[in-house]
Amino acid sequence: MAFGNRLIDIGGGGGAGWTLENAVQIATGDLGRSYAGYRAIDISADGTRLGLAMDHPLSQDLTMYSLSTPFDITTLSVLNETGSPNLSNKNPRGGKFNLDGTKFSWSQSNNSARSYETITMSTPYNVTTITGQVSSGWYFPGGTGSFGAGMSQDGSQFYGIGNESGGATVWRIQGWNLATPYEPASTRTTSFYADAFTPTPPDYVHGIQFDPSGHSLFFLMNDQNFKQYYCSTPFDGTTAVDTGITLSTPLVNKSDFCFSPDGKYLYAVGYYNTVVQYQLY
């Protein structure tokens, strides 16, 4: 698409990556779990670690996986795991590592337990060495049925999407600047607030991510599609325009997604036992 190519040029993506246009599914990975549950996902900067927060009463709620081949989801295996904190019925989404792997964060979108949680690990990517957990409280847009959160790669921008009525029509997106990177509980100032954002077609949103330039905005929709928007002002959802670029995923009850740091790979996780990997060209 001409608009898709234009999007890469303006958005600063610089060639390969950071666009869903011409994306190809290249692999699936087995999480090694026999149960279902909502999940939050992120991959480390070097592609050798994958973090998941899981929602199921029988699960090890925080699990770190090792990838023997960087960024290759077919080579994952369990590295370490813990059943604390208990994430049962808390709908975790929006997973995020800091750059050195000593922090991992996720949103909890269940109406009775809504917050953004950050754990600190004394050993990077090892959830058996948690030394603290901080809850930001709930300040995402929308009163009920809120879904999804994201953070910029440098941890300075934080954003969430939710809806007021619990329906699929009108959503609110809000972004914040963080005084302390990767710590949503730190001092924050609003960077944008989109009061009446309507996906086309209207549908529930299960995940949100910006690219590093802040121009490309991605959503994981309830209809099993990813959608790509363009923001003329970086990290400003009030300027979001639908590019018409979509990507279908085979996941059932999709939950969350993340990108490799260079935007060349997209990873999506659903309610069941599979991670799907895409190559972005």
Over pLDDT 90: what percentage of the chain? 38
pLDDT range class, residue 68, cuts 50, 70, 90: very high
Interval 42-67 mean pLDDT: 88
User: What does the pLDDT look like over 107-166, one tens digit per residue?
Assistant: 877 655 567 888 999 999 999 999 998 887 655 555 545 567 888 889 998 888 876 555
Interatomic CA distance for residues 23 and 138, integer angstroms: 35
Residue 270, pLDDT above cutoff 90:
no
Q: What is the average pLDDT score of the chain?
A: 81
Higher confidence at residue 234 or residue 9? 234
- Give the 3-state DSSP-derived string for 202-271, with helices as H, strands as E and coil as C: CCCEEEEEECCCCCEEEEEECCCEEEEEEECCCCCHHHEEEEEEEEECCCCCEEEEEECCCCCEEEEEEC
pLDDT on residue 169: 64
Q: Which of 134, 277, 158, 153 is nearest to 212 (CA)?
A: 153
Interval 246-268 mean pLDDT: 87
pLDDT on residue 279: 95
Q: What is the model's pTM?
A: 0.88
User: Where is average pLDDT lowest: 63-67, 96-100, 201-205, 247-251?
Assistant: 201-205
pLDDT range class, residue 201, cuts 50, 70, 90: low
The domain ranges of the chain are: 2-279
**CATH class, 2-279 region:** mainly beta
